[in-house]
């Protein structure tokens, strides 16, 4: 009886620790539930989107456009989205509505092979590009909301745990979606995966809508509209005026070229060069996610001890191993090794990018600075995959991957030289 009573006490204490006591605790719990459902999407639709269009017969150029066109749309809308978010006192409704609009794309993609079977690949690329308009508003508003959802002293731990949860759920989902793809005929298996991802994505939106934030201080609406050219001319002055933000943009710009250039090449290399089936691709993605889980704990500990700047530098240089090992691989085992390295070092990049961006952005203009960073990042993300596809046609896919390796190394070194710190 005493043992049973003691067990009840321990269980009650554990439940009390899990139960949120403050609005900040509740927000953190909701953020973790939100990212868990996003992990289901990452192990489903997100993991197989480019593979899907390749199997539908897409050319390297079309696969490049799958990444490039959404980036162009987001780059063009980044500044307008930032201005719009700055004028809103309530951030959560913006995140929710824009996420809902974006995530309907998963359902539309699931229906494409039935609606336009002869033009399925181009139709998916078009849907993905149009959906990016909503994603532009979602990204800016989410970053601003994240800064308010939890206090700065808890932000790093909440973000690192979010990434870890995302990686764990993704790793757990991938074997299931891989089995579905193997069990069902093409393209029905992919349609089921995308439909299931749509349901999980809508669940994520519902969970996020329960977050409570204070109203943000809004910037007054200007009576005169500033021309687009004039707003673009203001960007260099904004960079020069805030040196820490400029250092961040310069260093991350070079590194992002190395990230975006091979975006379309990995799936092409797996499917066309190595002839990997869906089960093998699921294994590669699962190993990547498991390595990311371990990486988030390691890099999170380093960030607490030394700050996010060193994490950015070390993981940036390390992430160059992903395209390097891939370029030198001729079979599945080295690709699995490359995926493990990619997951481990990507965890550091994901953790550091977000925290350093928040640190170098002035609090009263955070939405504006986030939108500038988004615009620059998305222009690079637009040009990178197209450049990667062009390089593949010109000099070969392995050589293009090696060029991406060089840019990643250069970016990682710049993180040291430019002394990017949070």
User: Using CA atoms, how far apart are residues 119 and 184, in angstroms rounded to an integer?
Assistant: 22
User: Using CA atoms, how far apart are residues 418 and 329, in angstroms rounded to an integer?
Assistant: 33
160-161-166-168 Cα dihedral, nearest 10 degrees:
120
Q: What is the DSSP string of 131-182?
A: HHHHHHHHHHHHHHHHHHHS-HHHHHHHHHHHHHHHHHHHHHHHHHHHHHHH
How do the residues of the chain divide into helix, strand and coil, expressed in percent and rounded to 5?
Answer: 85, 0, 15
pTM of the full predicted structure?
0.72
User: Using CA atoms, how far apart are residues 47 and 281, in angstroms rounded to an integer?
Assistant: 9
The pLDDT profile of the chain, 422 residues, written as one tens digit per residue, is 454 454 444 344 434 444 556 777 888 888 889 999 999 999 999 889 988 998 898 888 888 888 888 888 887 887 787 778 777 777 788 888 999 999 999 999 999 999 998 999 999 999 999 999 988 888 877 877 777 777 767 776 787 788 788 888 988 898 899 889 989 998 999 999 999 999 999 999 999 888 887 665 555 555 455 554 555 555 555 555 566 777 788 888 999 999 999 988 888 898 888 888 888 888 898 898 889 888 888 888 888 888 888 888 899 999 999 999 999 988 899 999 999 999 999 989 988 887 788 777 766 666 677 778 878 888 898 888 889 988 998 999 999 999 999 999 999 998 888 766 55
> Tokens 């992903």 sit at which residue?
322
Specify the pLDDT at position 300.
Answer: 82
* Angle 128-406-327 from CA coordinates, rounded to 5°: 70
7 contact partners, CB below 8 Å, separation of at least 6: none
User: Using CA atoms, how far apart are residues 83 and 93, in angstroms rounded to an integer?
Assistant: 16
**Cβ contact 53:121 at 8 Å:** yes
Structure tokens at 174: 């991938």
> How many other CB atoms are found less than 10 A from the CB of residue 287?
21
Residues in the chain: 422
DSSP state of 216: P
Closest alpha carbon to 105 in 186, 202, 217, 182:
202
DSSP state of 364: G
Specify the pLDDT at position 13.
Answer: 40
Q: Which CATH number fits domain 22-214+231-417: 1.20.1250.20, 3.40.50.150, 3.20.20.70, 3.40.50.300?
A: 1.20.1250.20
Q: Quick one: how far is CA 120 from the chain centroid? A: 25
**Cβ contact 177:164 at 8 Å:** no
Helix (H, G, I), strand (E, B) or coil at 415: helix
Specify the pLDDT at position 116.
Answer: 92
Structure tokens at 388: 């990667």
């Amino acid at each position: 009886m005493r043992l049973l009573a003691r067990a009840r006490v321990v269980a009650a204490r554990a439940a009390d620790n899990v139960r949120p006591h403050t609005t900040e605790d509740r927000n953190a719990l909701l953020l973790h539930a939100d990212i868990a459902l996003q992990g289901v999407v990452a192990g489903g639709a997100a993991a197989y989107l480019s593979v899907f269009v390749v199997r539908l017969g897409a050319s390297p150029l079309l696969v490049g456009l799958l990444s490039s066109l959404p980036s162009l749309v987001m780059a063009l809308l980044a500044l307008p989205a930032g201005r719009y978010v700055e004028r809103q006192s309530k951030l959560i409704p913006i995140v929710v509505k824009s996420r809902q609009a974006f995530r309907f794309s998963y359902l539309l993609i699931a229906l494409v092979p039935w609606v336009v079977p002869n033009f399925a690949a181009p139709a998916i690329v078009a849907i993905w590009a149009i959906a990016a308009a909503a994603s532009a508003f979602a990204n800016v508003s989410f970053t601003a909301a994240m800064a308010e959802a939890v206090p700065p002293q808890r932000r790093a731990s909440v973000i690192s745990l979010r990434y870890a949860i995302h990686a764990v759920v993704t790793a757990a989902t991938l074997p299931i979606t891989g089995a579905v793809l193997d069990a069902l005929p093409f393209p029905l298996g992919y349609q089921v995966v995308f439909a299931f991802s749509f349901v999980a994505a809508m669940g994520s939106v519902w969970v996020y809508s329960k977050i409570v934030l204070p109203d943000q201080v809004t910037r007054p609406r200007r009576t005169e509209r500033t021309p687009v050219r004039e707003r673009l001319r203001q960007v260099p002055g904004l960079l020069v005026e805030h040196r820490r933000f400029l250092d961040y943009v310069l260093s991350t710009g070079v590194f992002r070229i190395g990230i975006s250039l091979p975006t379309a090449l990995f799936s092409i290399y797996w499917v066309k060069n190595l002839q990997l089936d869906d089960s093998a691709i699921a294994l590669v993605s699962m190993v990547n996610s498991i390595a990311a889980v371990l990486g988030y704990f390691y890099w999170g500990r380093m960030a607490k001890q030394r700050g996010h700047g060193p994490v950015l530098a070390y993981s940036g240089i390390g992430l160059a191993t992903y395209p390097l090992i891939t370029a030198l691989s001729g079979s599945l085992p080295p690709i699995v090794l490359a995926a493990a390295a990619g997951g481990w070092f990507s965890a550091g990049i994901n953790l550091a990018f977000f925290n350093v961006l928040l640190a170098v952005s002035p609090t009263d203009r955070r939405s504006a600075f986030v939108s500038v960073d988004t615009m620059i990042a998305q222009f690079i993300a637009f040009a990178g995959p197209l450049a990667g596809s062009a390089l593949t046609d010109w000099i070969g896919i392995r050589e293009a991957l090696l060029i991406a390796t060089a840019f990643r190394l250069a970016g990682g070194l710049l993180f040291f030289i430019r002394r990017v710190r949070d």
